[in-house]
Structure 1
Amino acid sequence: MQKDFAYPDGKLYVPGSEKIIPSIKKLLDRARANGVRVVYTQDWHPENSPEFKIWPKHCVAGSRGAEIVDELEPKPNELIIRKETYDAFYKTELERHLKEASIENVIVTGVVANICVLHTAGSAALRGFKIVLPVDCTVALNDFDYQLTLRQVSFLYKGTITRSDLIFFKG
């Protein structure tokens, strides 16, 4: 999660996003403790991003708003995939990194549920990864969009919808 989305002073603040940070943090800590590979995705837009015709300017490359929130700061050995679109697989090296590491299951967290989370989860599923979406680790701008995301990930992409405390790692 990035400062422009998760903090009230962010350029594209998503109300309620700060409430999911503790759940993501607990899940992240458990994953790390069990040796799970952690990969961050980061919106990283050039000043003239086409996305700014749709949304206010946000997560501009190198800006404070593009930074990962302090509470979820990546460790030095963790991969950060910078992306310019909703889909973390589009024109990035994410798929290659996951396949080289023999990753089969992808847990998707963050914001916005029906935008970056849904597009990345769908793209992962279409590439053969099994998707897990913890309901307490994502939020949308409204309940309809949140429920739509859960439905699409479950029905269309055959993902697992669960709570983060019910996700267990083989350590």
Structure 2
Amino acid sequence: MPKALLIIDYTNDFVATNGALTCGQVAQDLAPTIIDLADSFLAAGDYVILPTDCHHLNDPYHPENKLFPPHNIEGTWGQEFYGPLNDWYQAHQDSENVYAFAKNRYSSFQNTNLDNYLRSRQITDLTLSGVCTDICVLHTAVSAYNLNYQLTIPKKAVASFDANGHDWALNHFKTCLGAKLI
């Protein structure tokens, strides 16, 4: 059965030093691991999926606008994939096993076709990477668990701007979602 690597929100606004809601160096340090994972998934004939936060400036109806500064605004530098991932994506975006899409909530499943995309390819095993461990990665993991996907979380492929939240989420993945931490 094929597997999928999700690279969640690895964008300039979340990763670059001058990003609007950056995790900073801890997120930047993930780049080699994420690229290695992406290469290994493609080499095995598996899938690389890039769910990416997408917002509209001054949207009065989006709840995140009350919680965070504007970030990942559609079509901006901030929403582009961060450095090495952007280079990787440019080189592989035409592969039938690479799928990038916009999302408008923390979970990559909410308001998207991700579940249908995975099920139509008979994918049941997901490896989650990206940022933020305790926000979008966590909410994606909870949704995946509730949809009966098997989860793997490489600890060196996730990060957050909140170290306590990161540690809590890693424990939650293992103890409450049955995820395999590697």
TM-score by length of 2: 0.86
Amino acid at match of 1:71: P
Partner of 1:53: 66
Amino acid at match of 2:74: A
Partner of 2:123: 103
Contact 1:7–1:13 (Cα < 8 Å) also in 2: yes
Contact 1:81–1:93 (Cα < 8 Å) also in 2: no
Written as runs of structure 1 = structure 2, the 5 A alignment for 1:125-140 is: 125-140=145-160
2:40 matched to 1:9?
A: no
Partner of 2:143: 123
Amino acid at match of 1:102: Q
Question: 1:32 deviation in Å?
Answer: 1.2
Q: Measure the CA separation in 1 of the matches of 2:125 and 2:63.
A: 31
Bigger proportion of residues as strand: 2
Aligned length: 162
Partner of 2:30: 20
Partner of 1:113: 133
Asked which structure has the greater RCO (Cα within 8 Å, sep 6+), the reply is: 2
Partner of 2:163: 143
Pick from 27, 32, 37 the counterpart of residue 42 of structure 2. 32
Q: Measure the CA separation in 1 of the matches of 2:160 and 2:52.
A: 18
Q: Measure the CA separation in 1 of the matches of 2:177 and 2:22.
A: 28
Q: Measure the CA separation in 2 of the matches of 1:149 and 1:29.
A: 26
Q: What stretches of structure 2 of length at least 5 have no aligned partner?
A: 1-9
Alignment RMSD (CA, Å): 1.1
Written as runs of structure 1 = structure 2, the 5 A alignment for 1:145-160 is: 145-160=165-180
Amino acid at match of 1:54: L
- Gap change, CA 1:63 and 1:107, over 3 Å in 2: same
Q: Measure the CA separation in 1 of the matches of 2:145 and 2:100.
A: 20
3-state SS of paired residue (1:71): helix
3-state SS of paired residue (2:151): strand
TM-score by length of 1: 0.91
Contact 2:152–2:180 (Cα < 8 Å) also in 1: yes
Per-residue deviation, residues 108-143 of structure 1 (Å, max 9, x unmatched)? 000000000000011111101001000000112233
Contact 1:81–1:88 (Cα < 8 Å) also in 2: no
3-state SS of paired residue (1:157): coil
Written as runs of structure 1 = structure 2, the 5 A alignment for 1:52-91 is: 52-73=65-86, 74=89, 75=92, 76-77=94-95, 78-91=98-111
Q: Measure the CA separation in 1 of the matches of 2:181 and 2:129.
A: 11
Higher mean C-alpha deviation, range 46-55 or range 146-155: 46-55
